[in-house]
Chain A
Amino acid sequence: MLNPTGVAVLGAVFNLNHPAHVVHWHFIDLTVSNVIVIGVMLLVFALAIALPFPGAARRRGGAA
């Protein structure tokens, strides 16, 4: 559990005492936090396709 000083410091850095920020696009309303999560998912998806898997080349070379 954070002590009151810790809570005050965290509150000063991350001020959550306001309504959520929302992205409006036509009929679509998304909170900024959800937009960030969707962006990270797209990034992870792209990296999962692009990055080589450890040992994949060796296995495909026939030394399974």
Chain B
Amino acid sequence: MVTLLLLAGCEVVPLVVSKDSGADTDKEDSKKCCDDTGTDDSSSTDDSTADDSSTTDDSSTTDDSDTLPGDWSCDNLPPSALDDTTLDEARAYHGIVFDGDDKLIGWDGRSSLIKNSPDGTREVWLPGFSGIENMDRFPDGDIVAADLNNGRLLRIAPDGSYTTIASVQNLYGAGVVIGPDLQIYVADGGIIRVDPESGEITRIFDQPRNWTAHVLNFNLDSTRMYVGSVGNGTVYYFDLDEDLDPIGDIQTYATGVGSGWHDAIAIDVCGNIYVPEYYSSGFYRVEPDGTVTSLVDQQSRAYGHGAVWSPNSGGWRDDTIYQPQPYNGNTVREVVIGLQSGELARTWNGEAVPW
């Protein structure tokens, strides 16, 4: 059990979340919090960010003061990253995922998936891969991984066994996300949905003529999908129905999010999204009103080619995004955001998403 500070669109709410099974109830609590403030969950906007006029409640801060470097809330965002360091001993290339034992897993740019610990130690977990890109984790502990060189999505079990979920043409490798419906969403220029059991592929968004869908994520109540691009530095979105199918045309969400090559989209509990952009070596926060803030010093070698929130235990910071650094020896960048992952507050059709 770990204590969390959840900023779910109204007040700062202390929550206690079990790593294994307690998240359901806790997230429902956070949802109830929002409902109580009158936020409309059916809205196509990021409901959790609405009317966030609260101030930080000092009495609700976590018992681990190291995890929260400031009194940040949805209407009091840090002006930039609170800390930005390189974990020299960790290894990751274009993707990061945390396993159930609080290990940061990354491909080492050589041949193997590596398990990295917060104390700086690392161990070979699974050798034999010529190029693993983005990854995400199923609730059962299995990992979906983009095996770019073989053009396929793999499902890797904790015991190291793996299966091919599907062969994907134009698998870019960056945009691979498990949705709240436990389907896999992949940016392949457009967006496809992949059934992890049958491998069936359903296209939900065609590739546009003048830009490429490269990364994606869902908003907090799963009524919207954000789409990062290659082409023009614009983050787009489309609204989703209850089955997570697009409604209407794709829309511009924010412009000027770097120069044109987005490599990930992460979301915090306030509904802000975080986008690394390759051409500018930047890492940007995009607020729901479209405000774009550069969070880190822009150095080519230090560019973080991804964005994954840390888990809430095991010695990793819970207010921090971890990024692989393929141009810096395949090390890992630790960017302290000051807020927690939006995954902790995610809902779908009004129900908490327990993963």
A is bound by B: no
Report A's interface with B, CB cutoff 8 A.
Answer: none
